[in-house]
Structure 1
Amino acid sequence: MDTSYCAQDILRCDLCDSELQSHCELCHINLCRACVGDHLSDSSKKHRVVPYSERRSTLNYPKCPHHDDKCCELYCEICDSTVCSTCISSGKHKGHNLVDVRQKLSSKKEDLEKDLKELEENIYPKYTEIATDIHKDEADFEEYYGKQITAVITQGEEWHKEVENIVNKEKSSIEEMKTKHLTAINKEKDSITQTVSHLQKNILELKNILKSNDFSLAFEYKSRNAEFRRLPPKLKISLPSFCPRMTSTEQLRQQFGSLSALFISEEDRGWIMRKPEGSLSPPVKPLLSQPQLLASIDTGYPLQKNQYSVTCLSDELIWTSGEDRILKLYNLQGSLLKLFQTGQGSDPEDITITRNGDLVFTDPNQTTVNIVKNDRLWEMIRVDQWKIWGICKTYLGELLVTMDRANESKVVRFSGSTKIQSIQFDEGNALYLPGTAKYISENRNFDICVTENIHSRVVVVNQAGKLRFRYTGHRSVFPMNRTFDPIGITTDSQSHILVADCKNCCIHILNQDGKFLRFINNCYLTRPWGICVNTSDKLFVADGKTIKKILYI
């Protein structure tokens, strides 16, 4: 018997309950010496039997969901899935970017560690603080309600016995309000307690995954940090108060006193602010004095039709959309790799890529946000009575969408298909003006940047929706004496804000505080519309019937 198991229960074979010696890392079962031979006799699988004490030294590759006898040693970044050798030979992943699953596991574990760190250091302490505050509020309102009841009783004792029924009625009203208040507090307390419990379980689960070499656990894990990051609403309560009055007995009921109503509402606590990893000190990249046109990709749009939007699937692949209602995927050599017809009545306005690499587009005509997944079109978000315009993915994987109607306009944040924030007013003042398309981008400091074309301005707010600044152009150095015409907008690793100025055939570059830095106006731009920046800070511009790739930094 292994001395490492002394004073412990004997570990048993999963097949016959005898003392184990070995472990099959393909089947994830423990085996005794007698059962090893029978297990290896199954030639349909390539079993990997190792001494039990060495089981952790061999990596457990995920089983292929499509081929039972295969393990996945590669990861397809286009399909966001692990693949085996049979999957690759089938041709399904031809031309896709394949990486070693161990390489992907490393990034997966980095994400898990980030989630764990945020849960332990930021989210969980905040929830425990809220729970403590609720307990304190509970004790305070007990004392408060006691004082209110005492006031009513004192007032009643000074009156004649014939007002006792009024006293009892008022006491009953207070007790009913107290019960409602207590019910609301208990509901909030129970909700917080339950969430704290979920957080504890999630933290424990993440720790177990990080300790384990079982790849399948890491890939099966679905992060709930976005759900926990959204703090619960805080109860906002207007407490009732009894106000006694001296009066005659003829007006007992009316003059006995009044009890203000109990009013319970919710006050938004907002989010636990968090910046993307590495955003505090990115490598400094100065702007070039003369931006360079690196490539011009002809996207084949027909006469009288132009493209509107461009977004990067990777540093080597770009999606475009335009007036022909066809979504197109190109590589940087100008080869069309894939196209998707959105259908009659659908009019894609703006596009972005989800964290999983799926294409998402807005459709103002249908008032929807749609997602292309597995070569099929799915409705993701529908907002009746609002026209949806611009869309972008945030650094935390959420979606920001601009929308307006006749007399109002707003930005809405979605986690999946769930609305979690609406940005429309700042201290009662409208942030955005209605009318025409609005494009949107999130900066590295979580600022939300929106172009308002018809109003010739860019509006920038912080993550909580507070106005930071408005940019209305840099007229003194416009290449042409025309009105500022902002349409597409994007940001880069330096927190620069880049704005496509269609009529003036240029790109404005601002710093994160709205200070104008320079124009890009020497790269043969004729109609710059949608713009995006890849991870290496190369700028892509949807310009008429071409996509221009520009080096500016």
Structure 2
Amino acid sequence: MDPFRRAQIILLCDLCKTAHLQSHCERCDINLCQTCVGKHLSDSSIRHKVVPYKYRKSLNYSTCPDHTDELCKHYCEKCDIPVCSTCVSSSKHEGHNMSDILEKISAKTESLQKDLDELETRIYPRYEEMASDVQTEEAELETNYGKLTTIADQHGELLHREITAIVNQRKSDIQEMKIKHLSTLNKNTEEITQKMAELKQIMSDLKSILKSNDVSLTATYKSYKSKNSEFRTLPPKVRVTLPSLSAQKINKDQLNEMFGSLSPLSINTEHGDTMKSAEAVSSPPVKPLLDEPRLTATIDTGYDRLFSVSCLSEDQVWTRGDNKTMKLLNLQSKLLTSIQTKSGDKPRDIAVTRDGDLVYTDYDDKTINLIKNKQIQTVITLQGWGPLYVCCTAANDLLVTMDSDDGEQSKVVHYSGSTEKQSIQFDDQGRPLYSSGGNIKYLSENKNLDICVADNTARAVVVVNQSGKLRFRYNGHPSNTEQSFYPVGITTDSQSHILTADINTQSIHILDQDGQFLRYIHCHLELPVGLCVDIRDNLFVAEYHTAKVKTIQYL
């Protein structure tokens, strides 16, 4: 024998001791062959965990502190410590409940896994959302405070104009009084000057008479009549009192009040919302339905035909119409961004992720694509199936309706990234949940994690729970006996209402989470198709023919 050749170690099944092992039960810590796996799993009293041998986890039992030659393979529930077989039979643990330490570890592992799943899918995304909200608020801070400053400047300019007008009016009044005063004084001066001229003439005449020695002037003496008594009464003297400007003392408080007050900066640190566990999802505040829903805005998209709308924010929506271009518009119909599909084909549907990125399905190209920073990434390419409509879940996964290439099958597929997590196609009796053929199957995830599909061909809203089990079908208002219900777009709100567009009656049906009809929304809609709601439960409706998006408040 070659002394350098190592002997091969053959690992055998711990049960039959003859066949090569292939699997390992982590729960029981034994190795199994293919034949013995079935026998081992037949013991349903234990929750076995069988994995391929190469993926097994090596278990390191702790050594008993009291019996150093034994391993702790049991667990004392009362003392809450691992124990060995000798400890179990000792008087120290007499009457205590014992469990298998692997079972205890399995339960702990399951609990830890649940914690991890909740942290990854529910709690951490909420923190990310809060951080994003704060960053958005910071980004808008300069703009919002700039608006306040502009309002103050505009109000100040208005007050300046009013004050300037008042000052000019007062100056005009003063000038008018000055002219009237001067005219009065001039008139008085003229009267006095005239009397003075008469006096000068009389005085000149008297001097001439007194200086003359001509006796013939005697007649002049006789004709002279004294006017001194007349002139002793002086002409009236006009006295004009100067006007005064009784300016009121400026009261700063009143001036501040007149200018308008600035509300104080309110900084309140709210106690963080306590998220309920995944088993008890938190119920949102109750928002009652309005008696009369009202139209609040209309957006012109510029398409010839419009199919879908998806909210990016309260005042920005993505739209897709009858060409290869997807448009981001604000409530004033201003085009903010436009993106063309990679293939040049029309997108079948669009959705906005929780990160604010756009997802679109390309039916002809059989792809599902993500647009991040205006760059298109193909995340999923299908074989034998064509992707139809898409929505984003609370966990930031994707739900996609799709038809088989032969048109004989339809299903909903749940993706996490590019990985398929779940396929929903049949009910408990193996019957198809969704109609084959017609490819209008908008969908939405409800707040209770139900998956809601508007199956137009089946003339029904089909709702399954997150496990894919059928909950109910809604076939229109109970009074509908002619099967005239043609659902198209579908969405859900914070109250777990299901809203679906009925293209036949040109209205929106509002259902509760159990499929009970609540009421209609009309608002003069014209062929409503795509639907979405924003974070404040404002409803956005895409109208097919008018290519307009109408915003409706209904809560």
Q: Using structure 2 for the length normalisation, give the TM-score.
A: 0.51
Structure 1 residue 356 and structure 2 residue 224: aligned?
no
Give the letter for the 2:464 counterpart.
V
Give the letter for the 2:444 counterpart.
S
In 1, Cα distance between equivalents of 2:299 and 2:290 = 22
Which residue in 1 is equivalent to 2:307?
Answer: 308
In 1, Cα distance between equivalents of 2:342 and 2:26 = 56
In 1, Cα distance between equivalents of 2:37 and 2:421 = 38
Structure 1 residue 542 and structure 2 residue 542: aligned?
yes
Distance apart, 1:146 and its partner CA: 12
Which residue in 1 is equivalent to 2:319?
Answer: 320
Which residue in 1 is equivalent to 2:410?
Answer: 409
Q: Deviations over 1:219-258 (max 9, x none)?
A: 9xxxxxxxxxxxxxxxxxxxxxxxxxxxxxxxxxxxxxxx
Contact 2:326 2:340 survives alignment (8 Å): yes
Structure 1 residue 334 and structure 2 residue 336: aligned?
no
In 2, Cα distance between equivalents of 1:547 and 1:339 = 17
In 2, Cα distance between equivalents of 1:529 and 1:362 = 17
Cα 1:190–1:494 change in 2 (3 A) is farther
Q: Equivalences for 1:449-488 in 2 at 5 Å? A: 449-474=452-477, 476=479, 483-488=484-489
Which residue in 1 is equivalent to 2:394?
Answer: 395
Distance apart, 1:437 and its partner CA: 2.0
Give the letter for the 1:285 counterpart.
K
Q: Deviations over 1:186-216 (max 9, x none)?
A: 635569999979x79x98xx9xxx9xxxx9x
In 2, Cα distance between equivalents of 1:289 and 1:457 = 26
Aligned length: 316
Which residue in 1 is equivalent to 2:451?
Answer: 448
Which residue in 2 is equivalent to 1:368?
Answer: 367
Distance apart, 1:474 and its partner CA: 1.1
Distance apart, 1:379 and its partner CA: 1.2
Structure 1 residue 431 and structure 2 residue 423: aligned?
no
In 2, Cα distance between equivalents of 1:446 and 1:310 = 21
In 2, Cα distance between equivalents of 1:319 and 1:148 = 57
In 1, Cα distance between equivalents of 2:520 and 2:347 = 29
Cα 1:137–1:354 change in 2 (3 A) is same
Contact 2:434 2:458 survives alignment (8 Å): no
Contact 1:362 1:391 survives alignment (8 Å): yes
Which residue in 2 is equivalent to 1:385?
Answer: 384
Which residue in 1 is equivalent to 2:7?
Answer: none
Which residue in 1 is equivalent to 2:285?
Answer: 283
Superposed CA RMSD in Å reads 3.8
Cα 1:146–1:550 change in 2 (3 A) is closer
Distance apart, 1:412 and its partner CA: 0.7
Q: Deviations over 1:316-351 (max 9, x none)?
A: 211000112211111112211111122564121111
Cα 1:477–1:196 change in 2 (3 A) is closer
In 2, Cα distance between equivalents of 1:430 and 1:138 = 42
In 2, Cα distance between equivalents of 1:340 and 1:148 = 58
In 2, Cα distance between equivalents of 1:140 and 1:185 = 7
Give the letter for the 2:354 counterpart.
R
In 1, Cα distance between equivalents of 2:51 and 2:419 = 27
Distance apart, 1:503 and its partner CA: 2.3
In 1, Cα distance between equivalents of 2:342 and 2:413 = 26
Structure 1 residue 494 and structure 2 residue 489: aligned?
no
Contact 1:475 1:484 survives alignment (8 Å): no
Give the letter for the 2:536 counterpart.
S
Which residue in 2 is equivalent to 1:74?
Answer: none
Q: Deviations over 1:524-547 (max 9, x none)?
A: 201101000000000000013100
Q: Deviations over 1:385-432 (max 9, x none)?
A: 111111000001110011111211111111111111111122222212
Contact 1:276 1:444 survives alignment (8 Å): no
Cα 1:466–1:185 change in 2 (3 A) is farther
Cα 1:381–1:190 change in 2 (3 A) is farther
| Structure 2 segments unaligned to the other structure (5+ residues) | 1-23, 41-48, 60-101, 133-275
In 1, Cα distance between equivalents of 2:379 and 2:311 = 20
Contact 2:327 2:338 survives alignment (8 Å): yes
Which residue in 2 is equivalent to 1:244?
Answer: none
Cα 1:425–1:148 change in 2 (3 A) is closer
Give the letter for the 2:315 counterpart.
E
Which residue in 2 is equivalent to 1:526?
Answer: 526
Give the letter for the 1:509 counterpart.
I
Contact 1:451 1:457 survives alignment (8 Å): yes
In 2, Cα distance between equivalents of 1:452 and 1:145 = 47
Structure 1 residue 292 and structure 2 residue 294: aligned?
yes
| Structure 1 segments unaligned to the other structure (5+ residues) | 1-132, 150-180, 220-273
Contact 2:353 2:392 survives alignment (8 Å): yes
In 2, Cα distance between equivalents of 1:182 and 1:358 = 40
Cα 1:183–1:388 change in 2 (3 A) is closer
Contact 1:482 1:503 survives alignment (8 Å): no
Q: Using structure 1 for the length normalisation, give the TM-score.
A: 0.52
* The structure with more radius of gyration: 2
Q: Deviations over 1:448-467 (max 9, x none)?
A: 00111111111100001001
Cα 1:391–1:145 change in 2 (3 A) is closer
SS in 2 for 1:430: coil
In 2, Cα distance between equivalents of 1:393 and 1:344 = 22
Distance apart, 1:517 and its partner CA: 0.6
Contact 2:325 2:346 survives alignment (8 Å): no
Cα 1:311–1:183 change in 2 (3 A) is closer
Structure 1 residue 187 and structure 2 residue 51: aligned?
no
Which residue in 1 is equivalent to 2:515?
Answer: 514
Cα 1:443–1:190 change in 2 (3 A) is farther
Contact 2:435 2:457 survives alignment (8 Å): no
Q: Equivalences for 1:220-299 in 2 at 5 Å? A: 279-299=281-301
Q: Equivalences for 1:5-404 in 2 at 5 Å? A: 134-138=25-29, 184=52, 187=55, 189=57, 279-301=281-303, 305-342=304-341, 345-404=344-403
Cα 1:334–1:147 change in 2 (3 A) is closer
In 2, Cα distance between equivalents of 1:501 and 1:449 = 15
SS in 2 for 1:310: strand
Structure 1 runs of 4+ with >4 Å offset: 137-142, 144-149, 188-197, 274-279
Mean Cα deviation higher: 373-382 or 508-517: 373-382
Q: Deviations over 1:357-398 (max 9, x none)?
A: 111011111111112222122212111211111100000111
In 2, Cα distance between equivalents of 1:434 and 1:138 = 48
Distance apart, 1:148 and its partner CA: 8.8
SS in 1 for 2:370: strand
